[in-house]
Amino acid sequence: MDGTGAPLFFRYHRDMSFRIFNSSTAVFIESTEAPGLFRHVETGFSFNELFTAPDPAGYVAAVYNGAGEEVSFNPDISYQAPIGDQEVWAAGVTYYRSRTARMEEAETAGGDIFYDKVYEAPRPELFFKATAARARGHLDKVGIRSDSTWDVPEPEFTLAISSEGKIFGHTIGNDMSSRSIEGENPLYLPQAKNYTGSCALGPCLVVADSPSPATTISITIARAGREVFSGETSLSQIKRSFEELAGYLFRSNHFKNGAYLMTGTGIVPDSSFTLEVDDIVSITIEGIGTLRNTVERV
Ligand code: DO4
Ligand code: MG
């Protein structure tokens, strides 16, 4: 065995990365060494072990090498969120577009100044988003509240952070949000952000270093077979570093099973847009894939 726990005959390089898809009975792991080949692992892997491992990539490498069968596999089927007992948190107002949209929605209530201040302040906005049981997966439904009149998805690059505070991977997050409720009063944020179906993660967890700032995040929203919104941004537009956001999250806060941290949205549709039931939201981030969900009213 080497220092990571991986058997020595396995040629594991530090720059290798893995994609992990989560089904109810197994995980499927793909390595950059063998794209298109998936290791079907029923026992010997757990997201809690991954998020608490001193070397998460070494943990995946050891499982990839030592467990399960290689199978052919269609990644475009429904999956559970790639999560064990991790909490999901989110950062807000990390892109200029989010600051401006938030200021517009909160202007009437007089709450706009807080968004401007937090965009500039050393301390970022961080909020609790979901427990694991509330996180939806790929091709599952996401929710809009029955007491909300103005709703949007928020496509967000989402960090996987170990219990030691180390960023070791990433996935796609959808921070579903009620703009009517948050806009009425910023103190309603938990109701605008935390409700049934307000969070989706997936389609897989990528265990790798964070990608380059040129990485694009894009979204499309389809209604009755027609595209009603599309948008694109890149990681280069974010105001804060991932280390800064993770550092603030872990300040005076212990995560025994690690955490996911959504890093904020850089895409907000114009004020005239709101989601409707049966809309299909597809969020794509280079190197991860596409997270697709249909909207339901909850
Ligand atoms: O302040 C509200 C939340 C903003 C947010 O979720 C975002 O910028 O992504
Ligand atoms: Mg957000």
Give the number of the atom of ligand 1 that is nearest the alpha carbon of residue 93: 8
pLDDT reported for residue 69: 80
Question: Quick one: average pLDDT of 67-76?
Answer: 78
Q: Which amino acid does the sequence have at 261?
A: L
Element (H, E) at 190: helix 189-193
Residue 4 predicted with pLDDT over 70:
no
In the reported structure, the alpha carbon of residue 92 is separated from the centroid of ligand 1 by a whole-number distance in angstroms of: 3
Q: pTM for this structure? A: 0.95
Letter string b/e over residues 179-189, b meaning 16 or more CB atoms within 10 A of that residue's CB: bbbbbbebebb
Backbone angles phi, psi at 137, to 5 degrees: -105, -170
| Tens digit of each residue's pLDDT (9 = 90 or more) over 92-106 | 999 999 999 999 999
233 lines ligand 1 (CB under 6 A): no
Asked if residue 15 has pLDDT above 50, the reply is yes
Ligand 2 midpoint to CA 218 (Å):
14
- Pick the residue whose CA is nearest to atom 2 on ligand 1: 92
Instruction: Give the closest residue (by CA) to ligand 1 atom 9.
Output: 264
Summarised one tens digit per residue, pLDDT across range 262-292 is 999 999 999 999 999 999 999 999 999 999 9
Closest CA to 162 of 90, 261, 286: 261
Atom of ligand 1 nearest to the CA of 262: 9
Q: What is the pLDDT of residue 182?
A: 96
CA of 91 to the centre of ligand 1 (A): 6
Residue 265 Cβ contacting ligand 1 at under 6 Å: yes
Ligand 1 binding pocket mutation candidate from 156, 174, 177, 199 (most atoms within 8 A of CB): 177
Instruction: With residue 174 as reference, give the H or E element that holds it.
Output: strand 167-175
